[in-house]
Chain A
């Protein structure tokens, strides 16, 4: 702080920060927003002149969206917020934490990584009552609270991270027109989905587009498949114990789920380009097969973010739609939903950071983003009419109707597995290795 360079940089930051403070997207007091929560927060917090740095995963369009929400926080508290993000934010947060210059608030989509940071003592615990608040106010609240609870540096468990913004992953995307042309119905059970898959093959079509390519992260889309299928073949507690390795990766239950994925992805007739194309196709290009002429495939299982990779001009609800990746009717496991989400946590004792966590507990902080796009929340206190589109509202419903919600398992596992051997193992699996071989190798890589 002594350095002249630093001071001038800070001055510039204030100018830049002021840039997004001025435009509040929705006029205060209008529309179906919970403005009462905004004014109450406004009155309770006065932190004029303080500054807050937030580091998160949202870039590009998402950054514009999050900044529109942050503008209200600034207006309510007088805090000067500077939000930043970068490619490779996971590495960067580790470097910054280790080097001793962390942001005040960090937001990450990987609970596993947050747990590592908490264990090293880089994260400040949240107030004790926050866990109870989550349990009460979030749908499937206990599991959300559990998601942010880790052992600290001294070994005691506490809530460290606050979940904000969810993604639904158990979605199958399709083109309603293409379905109508062929006379197919949206399946409601896994049995129907499998029958439909075979029906499409019998009719001379290709049912699925699956692409695992993602540069250095190649393989991750397959981990979502396996997790979704595990939730549909085994009770949720198997899933939980699997993510902590209490149930070994090469347990028959897990191997069966991997083989289940193989039924979709390793049968040449089931997937566009044949099994060998699965690992080579980029996940961003893969959904385009739905809209090709003639269609390369009829269905694409992917999380809620994927429409940004649909061809330009694709209208959600008209040209493209989605249905819930269904559960087996005969297994009686309810309707499990696999999802993801981002969690915010404090890395400094800045009072503005504590205020920000409190802000995330107001309905308005959720409504401001959900009224735009790409935001689903498990917060029950928001006005669901505000969802920016029917697609979002439908995802919100899937989230609300879920009997079980489970977080993306690969993000819960240690990085060596969840962002390493699990990915590569899945690539090996579609490349020809057996499920057992792959599971054995992944189990061997689990850090002891």
Chain B
């Protein structure tokens, strides 16, 4: 297809530029999440992620002086570094929340009661007191400093190895795969046969059945939860993998049938007719011709169904249960956030961990999305 754009370099550049712009718009939000997953919760809620890669000057939250006092020349001294990581450079500092920029780096502040405090530009401080500092409330320091970029892997450590969720993420990962793989393959298979019948077989009521399928596309999932769980309890499968496979199959079928039927209708009629003339049965036509030709459609539906089951939380909670041994990845990650759920850094990290597998699936399936097989069979 390069023959269209290839002749006009200007147009090709326009295409490149438009795609860059489009990709940029689509990636920026996710990129923000990625950057945020390497920041602490305090960093996320105090400055924009786009500022995290540059050295920035800002007022840091108050830092309380800590440390062991040593006696020196008859006075008590606590010395140390305000920052755990080096690299920050203090410009102004203060000891009162009403005047946070009272002193320049290197100046000494009189705290009263015979105490004085010196803070250097690199964060080194020295608190001197005439009386013992034992049990005394140590002062806070407000600093205005330029801090270099600071990223942490702690969030990933927390999400991957935290004992908080009651079980390992590995088990949850396995559970999710156990749910997602059968829940992807079974509906495709069932839907493919139905789609073939709706597309290429002649029987009364076909149009109505298509309408039936389209109508069911719109059924809100929430409607079906209670009746179906009731049904599962009634037939004795209760909560478990079998139930969730069936549920995902049922919920995924309308879209599968609809997409596949529309794809199959578009397949060239003459191939199928000639196969029929050659004496092939419908079953043979389906397996030998339709399935290979429909591979792009099957692959794209497989991607979507897999994504959907992978990221699903609601269906898993209802049909699989919430016990630690049955928890799926999304459930596990959501539980990490605690009862009030506000740890943005955990959320961000969790989202990136759970995105990995769907992206791999997409990359792996991408080459099947091309209709190359069709071209091969026609020529």
Which residues of A are at the interface with B, using a C-beta cutoff of 8 A? 1-3, 5-6, 9, 12-13, 15-16, 20, 53, 55, 57-64, 67, 82-88, 92, 95-96, 98-101, 175, 177-178, 181-182, 205, 282, 284-285, 288, 291-295, 305, 308-309, 311-312, 315, 318-319
Do B324 and A101 touch across chains, with their CB atoms under 8 A apart? no
| B233 CB contacts on chain A under 8 angstroms | 99-101
| A64 CB contacts on chain B under 8 angstroms | 163-164, 166
| B341 CB contacts on chain A under 8 angstroms | 59, 87
Complex alpha-carbon distance, A318 and B139, angstroms: 11
Do A84 and B323 touch across chains, with their CB atoms under 8 A apart? yes
| B residues 312-326 in Cβ contact with A at 8 Å | 313-314, 317-318, 321-326
24 contacts between A and B (CB under 8 A): A3-B237, A3-B240, A60-B336, A60-B339, A61-B338, A63-B165, A64-B166, A83-B166, A96-B229, A96-B318, A98-B226, A99-B230, A101-B233, A282-B342, A288-B46, A291-B61, A292-B46, A293-B59, A293-B61, A293-B100, A295-B97, A308-B338, A312-B40, A318-B137
| B residues 225-274 in Cβ contact with A at 8 Å | 225-226, 228-230, 232-234, 236-242
Complex alpha-carbon distance, A205 and B62, angstroms: 17
| B239 CB contacts on chain A under 8 angstroms | 101
Complex alpha-carbon distance, A5 and B230, angstroms: 18
Which residues of B are at the interface with A, using a C-beta cutoff of 8 A? 40-42, 45-46, 59-62, 64, 96-98, 100, 137, 140, 142-143, 163-167, 225-226, 228-230, 232-234, 236-242, 313-314, 317-318, 321-327, 331, 334-342
Do B59 and A5 touch across chains, with their CB atoms under 8 A apart? no
Complex alpha-carbon distance, A6 and B242, angstroms: 9
Complex alpha-carbon distance, A284 and B226, angstroms: 33
Q: How far is the CB of A207 from chain B (nearest CB, A)?
A: 14
CB-CB nearest in chain B for A3: B237
Complex alpha-carbon distance, A53 and B323, angstroms: 9
Known pairs A177-B62, A294-B97; A86 contacts B334 (CB<8 A): yes
Q: How far is the CB of B325 from chain A (nearest CB, A)?
A: 4
Do A292 and B322 touch across chains, with their CB atoms under 8 A apart? no
Complex alpha-carbon distance, A175 and B62, angstroms: 11
Known pairs A60-B164, A293-B142; A13 contacts B325 (CB<8 A): yes
Do B337 and A86 touch across chains, with their CB atoms under 8 A apart? no
| B41 CB contacts on chain A under 8 angstroms | 312
Q: Which of A2, A58, A294, A318 has the most CB of B within 10 A?
A: A294
Do B335 and A60 touch across chains, with their CB atoms under 8 A apart? yes
Known pairs A3-B240, A9-B326, A12-B325; A293 contacts B60 (CB<8 A): yes
Known pairs A84-B321, A85-B322, A293-B60; A63 contacts B166 (CB<8 A): yes
Q: How far is the CB of A81 from chain B (nearest CB, A)?
A: 11
**Apart from A9-B326, A67-B166, what are 17 other A-B pairs with CB-CB below 8 Å?**
A2-B236, A61-B164, A61-B338, A62-B338, A63-B164, A84-B324, A85-B322, A86-B331, A86-B335, A95-B226, A96-B229, A100-B230, A100-B233, A182-B97, A182-B98, A284-B340, A318-B64
| B317 CB contacts on chain A under 8 angstroms | 86, 88, 92
| B98 CB contacts on chain A under 8 angstroms | 181-182, 205, 294
